[in-house]
Amino acid sequence: MPENNTLDGSWFEVGFNDADWPSGQAGAGYENGSGYDDFIAPSLNFSEAVSSQNAETIYMRTHFTLEEVPSFDQLTLEVRYDDGFIAYLNGKEVARSNAPGNRGTPAAWNASAFASHNDTQAAVFEAVDITAEGLNVLRPGDNVLAIHGLNVSNSSSDFLIWPRLTASTTLTEEPTGQDQAVFRYENPILLQASARLKARSFDGVQWSPLNQAQFLINAVPATAQNLLLTQIHYHPAAPSGEEMALGFDQRSDFEFLQIKNLSQKPVDLREVAFTDGITFHFQDDSFLHELPAGAKCVVVADPDAFRFRFGSQETIAGMFQQQTNLSNAGERLQATGSGGNPLWDLTYDDQEPWPTLADGQGYYLSRLSPTLFPDANSSSAWEAVQAATDRTLPPPPSISLLLPDEQTSVAQGQNVNISANIASSQNIPMARLECLIDGVSIGELLGPPYLWNWKPEQSGAHLLQIQGWDVYGQYGVSEEVRLIVIPHTGPSSARIAWVSFHTDETTASNAARAAGMTEAPDALYTRLLTRDGHEVYRIATTSTPDKALLESYDLVIVSRSVASGDYVSDAQGMTWHGLETPVMILGGYVTRSNRLGFTQGTTMIDAASPIYLKAKDPSHPVFEGIPLDAEHVMAQLYAEPVTWNGILQRGISINQNPLSGGGKIIATHATHSDNAYGGIVIAEWEPGATISHAAEPILAEKRMLFLTGSREASGFTSETAGLFDLTEEGGHMFLNAVRYLTQTQETTFGSFVAIEKSDQGLWIYYTGTLQSAPSLQGPWSDVVGSQNPHPLGSPMDRMQFFRSVP
């Protein structure tokens, strides 16, 4: 009885050294009750080796010697077994029963039988014809019959494996006596159970070819009228953490098909075979050859996975063969029965009008009444039913709705990023989540990341909530979150094209992931723009920019996270300088003389210290609201080094060369202790300015250099550049620059007051300071101790008026 996998792959080979194995003259196993005592050799009783931790298996080897290979034409393996086995002859698999895996693939040392073989069945030698598989591997000299005995569960009450091998030759003359291999039958043969008989006739000179026939006792052949495919579990729910720990780490491990006998008699299954969808033949791949009246059985992808999730109540007829599985996207399922006649031929689908809950959400397709819905190919003949388990369902998921910075108000028309946090005591995956605004869904997600983007068009108080179902169908819902949408006045939004390696701010590129990043390095810039009310569209940096596309935006911003090689050729320069829309460039490398030609050289130095800026033009709009000292140096920092993932990153790359003709310096690096001191950080060029670019020296529109965006410490690739490094003051300047280039204004909002009635009374939502008065003429005074929302009480004892002031 093996205790680990050290013998896997070798123990059944002829040359394996089994000299120190115990030997005996009967079967091996153990019996904790009664029934197998006479079948188990004392030296092969393994009762003391039984462990509740491991599945129990037995390796058995039987040596026999042949002087030469005689002309046998029949080889039969007979086995007493409880509950399964795999047989090898001279290292080749020749038979298996109730064993996991595909034929030809050895089972693991701790594998389990996928079905039981009860004590009554196990007490009788079961014959298996292995002529085709075994005759050709017999050889002169030492031969080995190896048996892998399997038990159905840990610490079973009993276990038995006892094989024997019989070789025979068909006689070509009439046999005599009672010790021969064949006998003369002159009277009818009485059968007590269904059986397949093989027979030859003898004409006094020679034997006829072998004939065989199937005889059914109290059973009927399988037909489309008595056998029905009743369940299809083609896309199971994701495995739980507990299931993954046991090795069931694929959804497909839990696939199954259920078959039901509709008749009042047993149905013979020997000729039943799946011919499309999966591979499975009851004659060869199952111990179950008859299905009792009204009974059901399942054919499964993995018996152990099925039993763990769904319990042991279903009869497992066998497992999918030849590594076949059910398709998640729908496929044809076809099976034949008696005489090769069709049993069913249907094609299911994962798209509507078929029930979509069966597509990965913990439900299976279940057949409705074939009398009412005779067409199995019709979606109306199937419904989605939640897959039940024999285990206690986990607690419902705990769902929280999250808003950035726990915001309670947002500007009308401004994008709101809504996310969900899922807490599950057993790490149960979610099947789907849905975000509701005022009870109306704005989108359903079937997997993480659970992020929704909502752009409110209607001002007022809105109710946000997230509901969802885990893979077991357990329902959870978040608490209600109220969000005030404040009306704004004046145009303040621009359509901005953000050119970057990263087309999705929530997803890192391959190089960024390799550096440990989980989202785009430059994500915080586009979020800042979105929070300011702008519409931002990420566009992939490329060596062949689409001029018409870029000109459809109010502003194009070139991120620090781009390849400077995309901005080097004459054709690229002609496109970028010819754009008839403003362009803002955040990385200095693309502005050099050997790139787009905005400077007269190629020198760049990484800033190593916190950065203050000196305004060369203090009246420029980028400095609006920014305190400057007497020397026009910022009173607060513009940017500072980034420590990310515990590592100090490389700072902003500063231009050290003069600008091309027509350029105007707006701000320089003013930190004296830094090697980049005095370098150009912000500069601009007016439309029509001439720069150092041979192919296209004339600019079609305004251009601005606004250096920001640190890069990953190794500097391995520009894909990891663009880390947000601006301070609050620097972020303010960045937004000032965007408004300046797009001719938009800072968003201004009107005062807002809203009263809402709930079961708890009246509540007032507001912005700014809440004031009240006995009449519209006043006098107005601040509401002392006001909350937001503020309870008004109901009923109110007098008339009151409320307003909000900035």
Q: At residue 208, does pLDDT exceed 60?
A: yes
Give the rounded percent of residues in the chain with a pLDDT score beyond 90: 34
The tens digit of pLDDT for each residue in 588-599 reads 888 888 888 898
Q: At residue 161, does pLDDT exceed 50?
A: yes
> How would residue 124 be classed by pLDDT, with cut points 50, 70 and 90?
confident
Q: At residue 12, does pLDDT exceed 90?
A: yes
> How would residue 370 be classed by pLDDT, with cut points 50, 70 and 90?
confident
Lowest mean pLDDT of 122-136, 258-272, 792-806, name the range.
792-806
Q: At residue 17, does pLDDT exceed 70?
A: yes
The tens digit of pLDDT for each residue in 738-793 reads 999 998 755 444 566 777 666 666 777 777 788 888 887 888 888 877 667 777 76
Q: Find out whether 57 and 99 touch, Cβ atoms under 8 Å.
A: no
Mean pLDDT, residues 568-593: 90
Work out the burial of residue 782: count CB atoms within 10 Å of its CB; fewer than 13 is exposed, 13-18 middle, 19 or more buried.
exposed
* Tokens matching residue 338: 């008696």
Q: What pLDDT, on the 0 to 100 scale, is given for residue 183? A: 58
Q: What pLDDT, on the 0 to 100 scale, is given for residue 752? A: 67
Mean pLDDT, residues 413-420: 85
Which phi and psi angles does 197 have, rounded to 5°? -105, 140
Choose between 319 and 157: higher pLDDT: 319
- Annotate 688-711 with b (16+ C-beta within 10 A) or e (fewer): ebebbbeebbebbbbbbbbbbbbb
Q: What pLDDT, on the 0 to 100 scale, is given for residue 8? A: 84
Mean pLDDT, residues 271-298: 89
- Here the contacts of 347-351 (C-beta below 8 Å, separation 24 or greater) are 347/377, 348/232, 348/234, 348/382, 349/379, 350/234, 350/235
DSSP-derived letter for residue 200 is -
Mean pLDDT, residues 72-90: 90
Bridge partner list, 333: 346
Work out the burial of residue 452: count CB atoms within 10 Å of its CB; fewer than 13 is exposed, 13-18 middle, 19 or more buried.
buried
Mean pLDDT, residues 524-534: 89
Mean pLDDT, residues 524-531: 90
The tens digit of pLDDT for each residue in 689-701 reads 888 776 778 899 9
Between the CA of residue 563 and those of 231, 575, 681, 690, what are the distances in Å? 54, 16, 20, 24
- CATH number listed for the domain at residues 27-168: 2.60.120
> How would residue 796 be classed by pLDDT, with cut points 50, 70 and 90?
low
- CATH number listed for the domain at residues 495-742: 3.40.50.880
Which phi and psi angles does 64 have, rounded to 5°? -150, 150
Q: Find out whether 730 and 468 touch, Cβ atoms under 8 Å.
A: no
Among 367-381, 700-714, 756-770, name the most confident range: 700-714
Q: At residue 473, does pLDDT exceed 80?
A: no
Q: What pLDDT, on the 0 to 100 scale, is given for residue 177? A: 41
Lowest mean pLDDT of 194-203, 258-267, 631-640, name the range.
194-203
Q: What pLDDT, on the 0 to 100 scale, is given for residue 701? A: 93
Write down the domain spans for the chain.
27-168, 220-386, 410-486, 495-742, 753-805
> How would residue 795 be classed by pLDDT, with cut points 50, 70 and 90?
low
> How would residue 484 be classed by pLDDT, with cut points 50, 70 and 90?
confident
Q: What pLDDT, on the 0 to 100 scale, is given for residue 289? A: 84
Mean pLDDT, residues 363-390: 82
Q: What is the mean pLDDT of the chain?
A: 84
User: How many other β-carbons are positioned within 10 Å of the β-carbon of residue 275?
Assistant: 17
* Widest pairwise Cα distance in the chain: 129
Look at residues 372, 746, 736, 244 and name the one whose alpha carbon lies nearest to residue 533.
Answer: 746
Q: What pLDDT, on the 0 to 100 scale, is given for residue 616? A: 94
- CATH number listed for the domain at residues 410-486: 2.60.40.10
Q: What pLDDT, on the 0 to 100 scale, is given for residue 460? A: 80
Mean pLDDT, residues 66-91: 87
DSSP-assigned letters across all residues of 60-105 = EEEEEEESS-----EEEEEEEEESEEEEEETTEEEEEES-SS-TTS
Q: At residue 284, does pLDDT exceed 50?
A: yes
Mean pLDDT, residues 575-581: 92
> How would residue 48 be classed by pLDDT, with cut points 50, 70 and 90?
confident
Give the rounded percent of residues in the chain with a pLDDT score beyond 70: 88
**Helical H runs in 534-664?**
547-550, 570-578
Q: What pLDDT, on the 0 to 100 scale, is given for residue 182? A: 57
Q: Find out whether 692 and 643 touch, Cβ atoms under 8 Å.
A: no
Q: Find out whether 438 and 462 touch, Cβ atoms under 8 Å.
A: yes
Q: At residue 66, does pLDDT exceed 70?
A: yes
Q: At residue 232, does pLDDT exceed 60?
A: yes
Q: What pLDDT, on the 0 to 100 scale, is given for residue 390? A: 44
The 3-state DSSP class for residue 48 equals helix
Choose between 499 and 573: higher pLDDT: 499
Q: What pLDDT, on the 0 to 100 scale, is given for residue 746? A: 54
What distance in Å separates the CA atoms of residue 199 and residue 567, rounded to the nearest whole number? 85
**Helical H runs in 212-330?**
241-245, 282-285, 303-310
What distance in Å separates the CA atoms of residue 520 and residue 527, rounded to the nearest whole number? 11
Choose between 493 and 479: higher pLDDT: 479
The tens digit of pLDDT for each residue in 640-689 reads 988 877 788 888 989 888 888 789 999 999 999 898 999 999 999 999 98
